[in-house]
Each structure stands twice: as C-alpha cells, then as structure tokens.
Structure 1
Amino acid sequence: MPTPDRKSSLKIIVAAVLILGTVAYLAITGVSENKSYYVTISELQGMGNKAYTRHLRVAGNVAPGSIERSGTNATFTLLEQGHTLRVTYKGSEPPPDTFKDDSQALAVGTYGRDGVFHATQLQAKCASKYAPAANQAPTTTASALPASR
C-alpha cells in the first residue's frame, strides 16, 4: 500500500505529464495550422489535388482595374508571367493602403475547388513608391558612399 507521500508525489507526476502532453499537442497542432507554402501562380495551378489541402502563400501583381472592395473584403486578380489567379480576401482588417492597381501583393490562404484563392491575409507593396521617376536616375547620398582614403 502506497504511503501518503508517495501518493501525493505520484499525483504531481501524473499532473505534470498531462500538462506537458497538452502543451506539446497544442504547440504541434498550432504550428501545422499556421504553416504555409509559398508557391507561384503557375505552380499552384499545376499542383492538382494538393493545392486544395494546403495553407498557401501566392504572390503576383494586382491586375489593373480588377479590385472590387466591400468593407474590409476585396476581390481582385493577381498576374504572374502570363498566369492569372482570382483572389477573394476576407480578413479582419481592410487591405493595406499600398494595395492598388499594379502593386505587388502576397495573399495567404487556401485554394478552392472553384478556382478562386480564398485569402485571409494580404500584404502589398506599391512598386512605384520606391522606384525613381521614369526620367530620373537613382540618386545616392554622400553618406551612403564609402569614404575614400
């Protein structure tokens, strides 16, 4: 018959194992749910049935005139080397300010059997924001140049 000290230490060990097992399970399932694969539009369209079961990231340029906004949601088309992908974005936040025609966009979500990419996250970079004007050469400042000796 176990002594009271052994009984209480056995309870502590069992509780610790249960807690550690629960934490490990939550960590593993949380990581696998948040894991996403980066693919190009052409790779996505060639993945077959695998495309429908994975959390994916797809990038491309926003097709001019394709953006349709509705509150925090948006529908648009991404272009990448002659391939197009229709995207519906339904997120908790509206698309970023840099999300405009011809901007580079990264959509995170799932590919539906309807041929539409269903995004829950959206990132965008305005390509013209950082490029010099068409008739202007890039400028460098003296502080950016290495000092000559």
Structure 2
Amino acid sequence: MKPRHKRIALILGGLAILAVAATLVLNAFRSNLVFFFSPTQVAAGEAPQGKSFRIGGMVKEGSLQRQPDGVTLRFVVTDTEKDMTVAYKGILPDLFQEGKGVVAQGKLAADGVFTASEVLAKHDENYMPPEAAKAVGDAHERAAANRAAAEAAARTTRQ
C-alpha cells in the first residue's frame, strides 16, 4: 500500500470513529432530554404520552393530601388557568409549600394524574423556575384577555 492510500485509510477510519461517537452522544442526549409543560399545555394534549416530562406552576392552596400509606402524597399544580393533580411517592423538599412554585418530573398516567418521580421546590422568596413563571404569566395574560372580551361582549349586548 502506498503512503497516500494509508493516509486516506487513516482519515476515513478517523471520520468513521468520529461519526460513531457523535451518534452515541446524540442518542444519549435525546434519551435524557426532558421537556417542560404547563398544566394548560398538558390539558391541551401537547405533552408526550408515555414519556417523561416536567410540569410546573404553583401548588394550589389546600390541595396537599397525604395518602394512608404515609409515603404517597397528592397535590394540585396550577398555572391559574388549569389544574393538574400530581401524585408523588417519597419525601418532599424542605421548601415545598402550598402557594409556592414547584416543578415535578414524571409521566402522565392514563387516568390523567401526573405521577412524579422527582419534585423540585423553589429555593428562596423571589425565585420561581423560569418555565413556571412564564406559564403563570401566560395564563394571567389569557385570563385578562378573556375578561376584556367578556366585558366588551356585555357592553355590546346592553346597547
């Protein structure tokens, strides 16, 4: 084999190894990728079925319930427009409270209850996960637009 052919074979071999490594890295990245959805998006059917994703919002006041087994908890996550029941088996973070921001990772069960494998709570007075803050802000904007439309409709029917 000529030296030129050896160099070409080495380059092609290196490119093949690089392609295999890139494929393995991208496959691992895709399998570990977790998307965030608000309760409104989940209710609209935008969340993946049978795959893990994150849901975030505020823990609804008075919704925390401990199940008889003492380990399973149920609570409601809301973005002020839609509510989503979350079931979690485990110990909640110390900062978990009703009325505060939360992000839960898990899967949506067939009965519509989100079964969480991990629950993350806010870490100080002013912090809310950016995705949860955006979801709550979007829900407030939609609610304000709906109120304005209802008021305009009421004015036109009075005239």
Greater strand proportion: 1
- Deviation per residue, 1:70-107 (Å, 9 max, x gap): 3xxx532223126332223468xx53211233332111
Larger Rg: 1
Residue 108 in structure 1 maps to residue 105 in structure 2: yes
Over 3 Å counting, the alpha-carbon distance change for 1:19 and 1:75 in structure 2 is: farther
Could you state the TM-score of these two structures normalised by the residue count of structure 1? 0.59
Residue 7 (structure 1) shift = 6.2
Residue 85 in structure 1 maps to residue 80 in structure 2: no
- Give the whole-Å Cα distance in 2 for the aligned partners of 1:33 and 1:9: 36
Structure 2, unaligned stretches of length 5 or more? 127-159
Could you state the TM-score of these two structures normalised by the residue count of structure 2? 0.56
Residues 67 and 101, structure 1, Cα contact 8 Å, conserved in 2: no
Structure 1, unaligned stretches of length 5 or more? 132-149
* 2:54 alignment partner, SS class: strand
**Which residue in 1 is equivalent to 2:94?**
97
- Give the whole-Å Cα distance in 2 for the aligned partners of 1:7 and 1:89: 61
2:57 to 23, 35, 60: 60
- How many pairs were matched up? 121
**Which residue in 1 is equivalent to 2:145?**
none
How do 1:1-149 and structure 2 match up within 5 A? 2-3=1-2, 5=3, 8-47=6-45, 51-52=48-49, 54-63=51-60, 64=62, 65-67=64-66, 70=71, 74-80=72-78, 81=80, 83-89=82-88, 94-125=91-122, 130=125
- Give the whole-Å Cα distance in 2 for the aligned partners of 1:90 and 1:19: 43
- Deviation per residue, 1:4-54 (Å, 9 max, x gap): x45654553343123211221123223322333332212201116x53155
Q: Identity rate of aligned residues, in percent?
A: 21
CA RMSD of superposed structures (Å): 3.2
Over 3 Å counting, the alpha-carbon distance change for 1:10 and 1:111 in structure 2 is: same
